[in-house]
Amino acid sequence: MPEPVTPEQLLETFHRQVRLTDADAAPGTVVEHDGPVHRHYPADPTMRGAMIESPAGLGEDPEHWIGRQVEFFRGRGQRVEWKTYSTDEPADLGARLLAAGFVPEGEESLVLGACADLLHEVALPAGVRIREIDADAAADWDRVGALMDQVWGESTGWVNEHLRAEQRHRPDLLRAFVVEPGDPEDLESAPSGPVVSYTVLRFSEGTDFCGFWGGTTHPEWRRRGLYRAGVVHRARLSLEAGYPLVRVDCSPDSRPILLALGLHAVATTTPYILEP
């Protein structure tokens, strides 16, 4: 089958391969359908990471299905995110979720494209390197956490713990990388400074898609090619692993960089949060 090339074809392929098949569900989570609603969540209700989507719409009675999710997750006492896309039906899904008690967070762009289009020549600044870290590298994940908390101004420990757990469960599907001071030719030596950028590569098994996550860079190191270098590095690894297509849920800061590298903005996505 020929690879999709237009933004419309990319979006249709992503919808069919990833959203309709629950390919985004983290390993070890409960995955179930309640009518048209797809939900996946940690079995322990005290854990964060519960997600809802409705990729095929909500039919003729959206309030019924929204109400069932409110009842279900409040009954569990579990925080949940309803991940909406601008292409979802009904078109006023966001307003309906708001009326049901969900609170919207920041809008992101869904960016799709071919990994082969990302194979540009991008060099890191002198004196820094990209190094892969694994789930057992507690000190490295602590350094990532320090960067994330500094950049985002809030505790992100739960996010890192979820990613480490997923990496520990399926290291073949989730890989994490840091950019740090050090010798690029000697990845075994100890770093000589803090993590200055951090990225994640996540493969959606059974699909053509990888996902680029993380993408956090220290403000003093921005506009020096670190994010672009991380994109190119992950694109090469994805092609080697047999994942020719990429998806990114990106911020306004990352969007122009990704579009300039050759990807396509095909929709927007907004999380709606329901607290227990």
Architecture of domain 115-265 in this structure: 3-Layer(aba) Sandwich (3.40)
- Higher-pLDDT residue of 269, 148: 269
Query: What's the distance, Cα to Cα, between the start and end of the chain in Å?
Result: 45
* Residues in the chain, total: 276
Q: How does residue 184 score in pLDDT terms, banded at 50, 70 and 90?
A: confident
* pLDDT tens digits along 10-56: 999 999 999 999 999 988 899 999 999 999 999 999 999 999 999 99
What phi, psi does 242 have (nearest 5°)? 90, 25
What is the gyration radius of the CA atoms in the chain, in angstroms?
A: 19
DSSP state string for 63-128: HHHHHHHHHHHHHHT--EEEEEETT-SSTTHHHHHHHTT-EE---EEEEEEEGGGG----PPPTTE
Residue 165 has pLDDT above 70, yes or no: yes
Averaged over 244-271, what is the pLDDT? 95
* pLDDT tens digits along 66-121: 999 999 999 999 999 999 999 999 999 999 999 999 999 999 999 999 999 999 99
Averaged over 138-148, what is the pLDDT? 89
Per-domain boundaries in the chain: 7-110, 115-265
Q: How does residue 187 score in pLDDT terms, banded at 50, 70 and 90?
A: confident
β-bridge mates for residue 108, sequence order = 269
Query: Are 262 and 118 within 8 A, CB to CB?
Result: yes
Query: Are 66 and 96 within 8 A, CB to CB?
Result: yes
- The predicted structure's pLDDT at residue 199: 94
Q: How does residue 149 score in pLDDT terms, banded at 50, 70 and 90?
A: confident
Q: How does residue 2 score in pLDDT terms, banded at 50, 70 and 90?
A: low
What phi, psi does 85 have (nearest 5°)? -120, 150
* pLDDT tens digits along 231-243: 999 999 999 999 9
